[in-house]
Structure 1
Amino acid sequence: MSRTLVQPVGQKRLTNVAVVRLKKHGNRFEIACYKNKVLSWRSGVEKDLDEVLQSQIVYSNVAKGVLAKSKDLKIAFGTDDQTKICLEILDKGELQVAGKERESQLSNQFRDIATIVMQKTINPETHRPYTISMIERLMHEIHFAVDPNSNSKKQALDVIRELQKHFPIKRAPMRLKLTLSIQNFSSLEKKLTEWKCTIVSKDESGSQYSIVCEMDPGFFRDCDAFVRNLQGRSEILAISVHGEGDINADHYDGHDDASSSESKKPTDLVDQLSEKIQRQTLAPKADINESQVKQNKCSTCDAVVGDAKQYREHFKSDWHKHNLKRKTRQLPPVSAEECMTDVELGDSKGNLDEYNF
């Protein structure tokens, strides 16, 4: 009985690679690279070409393993040197990524842009920053689309200008310390009035006069040039100034207990913006009872633990953790005093076991 060797069919080679493609003179040229190495090469982090390329061979189709023809390479690049052509494709070509990978990159960049916008903007009434979730919602509202080939900071500034057309939002002021001679102070003061700056403090020391002020970042270049012309100097104290008690991110987004989220009072920012985007993105808010705002009850410990701050601290306490363990064993909760007694008894028993051992 004769035996035949069964060959695997449908095998796709060179598919688990990053492909860089360059179209030139009507032909398509591709090179196979290691994933995550192309960007490192272009940013200058990676210097070894062998760590970037799977092979120094130019293809017309990497997925099918079709090599590029020598005559096409000479017409397009003027040479058939594979290494030189690979370098040109690596520098000028377009990196091909899968659909899910591209979606993940765009989602991360969208989040980065929203974070920059949050850090650089404030509510003009409360002088506090927006939360990251509110910024993302507003970016969706103006139908913002991420440009993967553009800088995140540049796109964030464009987003801020677009948001200012539709919503109450403005750039967070930057705080500067300006120092110059007393005789030139009057001309500087006029300029600060024109730029609508807020003067925080003034200090006179000998023939020098220093002033701490807050201004719109758009006037910084003009201000710095003006102060230098007056033989003075400017110092940046803070790039973005927010109101006291502000938050830089939604720290409790998706992490608070349900009753904790109910205990939060709606801010003026949410009320103000909800009037504009309620029909499309924001659902009507339920009225929050004043007693819910002031008091919170822990169902695990069956006890009232105070306001929102005390409620969050309660979840870190030994009392709550002890009742969680009892709950997993289907035991009723104990009071704080009973919890201390149980803990002390457990410690004493542990010490006794160590002594007997």
Structure 2
Amino acid sequence: MSKTIVQPVGQKRLTNVAVVRLKKHGTRFEIACFKNKVLSWRSSVEKDIDEVLQSHTVYTNVSKGVLAKSKDLIAAFGTDDQTKICVEILEKGELQVAGKEREAQLSSQFRDIATIVMQKTVNPETKRPYTISMIERLMHEIHFAVDPHSSSKKQALEVIHQLQKNYPIKRSPMRLRITISQQNFPSLLEKINAWDAEIVSKEESGSQLCAICEMDPGIFRECDGLVRNLQGRLEILAVSVHAEGDSGVDHFDELNEESLPSIPKEHTDASVLQLSDTLQKQSVSTKSKNVEGEAKQSKCSTCNALVGDAKQYREHFKSEWHKHNLKRKTRNLPPLSADECLGDLEVGCSSKDDLKEYSF
């Protein structure tokens, strides 16, 4: 004999509800609020309590519609005034969100953290920031998990510390103006050299000396204390300094079997020939520049080579030669010359072993 499922007839379900929960005096109390209104109330954007609460009623379980008993309210809050209790729960309670809302909130905070990391870091080679998409990919690589109860800035600093262990990335320096007497400047200069900071410019004015320098933000407090002890003045000109130029941001280049499509052999040969022409032009321009004067040369520390003036220097960072050596650097391998890079690409770029070697 089949059983008939009996559905409740008079049950009124609470839908589109944001639940705020507070545990007090050993009892859990809940209130039903409108979605997206709780945070507005807590940030003082919303002033009308009726626009936040769906009802001036305190529950022990909102989803089941179980009301809180008066004796429990008096024991926990000292009163049975439902409106006052609702306000206290609204201010001190924990907001319960659904799965999709929680996922959207974590995704938004993940993006905020990646944005802060991008603003506070640079490529140590080019002194330019990485793209936001690359920062997010690296955060996934280190299996970073967002803590919704911690600030985005604090978590961003933790991400930077973790990324520095595996990838070429560093904090972007601060730019400071330090005004100090000339007799105390040698003591300051000694500390600046010890901090590995850089003095951008100096200007003397009577017995005072004004120096603009760039240093790691981590030593700002120590520098501020030293300048105060030397009776100087410290001003912050820029919290984060990035290199200026035509190209905006730098990329880590991915190289793995999943991201590479299958390329016909004739296309591969054409790419190698194109790379050969590019490397040859770079080599010729470098030699001609050496004849004109070495003072104007720009050196790429990744490739350990002089690559010409500022324009040629920027073009070099887009070349396959630099990209190939950058991948080698992430694997702690020595750089290759232009000819060695060309030969390495001709014989090894299509092999799976090399693809696995350079993959993150």
Q: Give the alignment's TM-score, normalised by structure 2.
A: 0.67
Give aligned pairs, total: 263
- What letter corresponds to residue 102 of structure 2 in structure 1? R
Give yes or no for contact 1:173–1:239 (8 Å, CA) kept in 2.
yes
SS at 1:148 equivalent: coil
Please list, as runs of the form range in 1=range in 2, the aligned pairs for 1:198-237 lying within 5 A after superposition. 198-237=198-237
Give, in whole Å, the separation in 1 of the partners of 2:97 and 2:188. Answer: 54
Give yes or no for contact 1:128–1:246 (8 Å, CA) kept in 2.
no
Structure-2 residue corresponding to 1:104: 104
SS at 1:57 equivalent: coil
Q: Give the alignment's TM-score, normalised by structure 1.
A: 0.67
Give, in whole Å, the separation in 2 of the partners of 1:82 and 1:248. Answer: 57
Residue 284 of structure 1 deviates from its aligned partner by: 4.0
Structure 1, unmatched stretches of 5+, are 1-6, 250-266, 295-357
SS at 1:270 equivalent: coil
Residue 185 of structure 1 deviates from its aligned partner by: 0.8
Please list, as runs of the form range in 1=range in 2, the aligned pairs for 1:54-65 lying within 5 A after superposition. 54-65=54-65
Structure 2, unmatched stretches of 5+, are 1-6, 278-360
Structure-1 residue corresponding to 2:252: 270
**Structure 1 pair 105–246 and aligned structure 2 pair: CA distance change class (3 A):** farther
Query: 1:123 and 2:105 equivalent?
Result: no
Give, in whole Å, the separation in 2 of the partners of 1:246 and 1:120. Answer: 20
1:270-296, CA deviations, whole angstroms, 9 ceiling, x for partnerless residues?
24xx47xx48xx73487694869x9xx
**Structure 1 pair 207–10 and aligned structure 2 pair: CA distance change class (3 A):** farther
Structure-1 residue corresponding to 2:196: 196
Give yes or no for contact 1:20–1:95 (8 Å, CA) kept in 2.
yes
SS at 1:140 equivalent: helix
Structure-1 residue corresponding to 2:153: 153
Residue 200 of structure 1 deviates from its aligned partner by: 0.6
**Structure 1 pair 246–240 and aligned structure 2 pair: CA distance change class (3 A):** farther
Residue 247 of structure 1 deviates from its aligned partner by: 6.8
Structure-1 residue corresponding to 2:184: 184
SS at 1:150 equivalent: coil
Please list, as runs of the form range in 1=range in 2, the aligned pairs for 1:195-344 lying within 5 A after superposition. 195-245=195-245, 269-271=251-253, 274=254, 278=256, 283-284=259-260, 289=271
Residue 246 of structure 1 deviates from its aligned partner by: 7.1
- What letter corresponds to residue 129 of structure 1 in structure 2? P
Percentage identity across paired residues of the two chains: 73
Give yes or no for contact 1:180–1:210 (8 Å, CA) kept in 2.
yes
Give, in whole Å, the separation in 2 of the partners of 1:10 and 1:116. Answer: 52
Give yes or no for contact 1:175–1:212 (8 Å, CA) kept in 2.
yes
Q: Give RMSD over aligned pairs.
A: 2.7
1:241-267, CA deviations, whole angstroms, 9 ceiling, x for partnerless residues?
112237777xxxxxxxxxxxxxxxxx6
Residue 192 of structure 1 deviates from its aligned partner by: 0.7
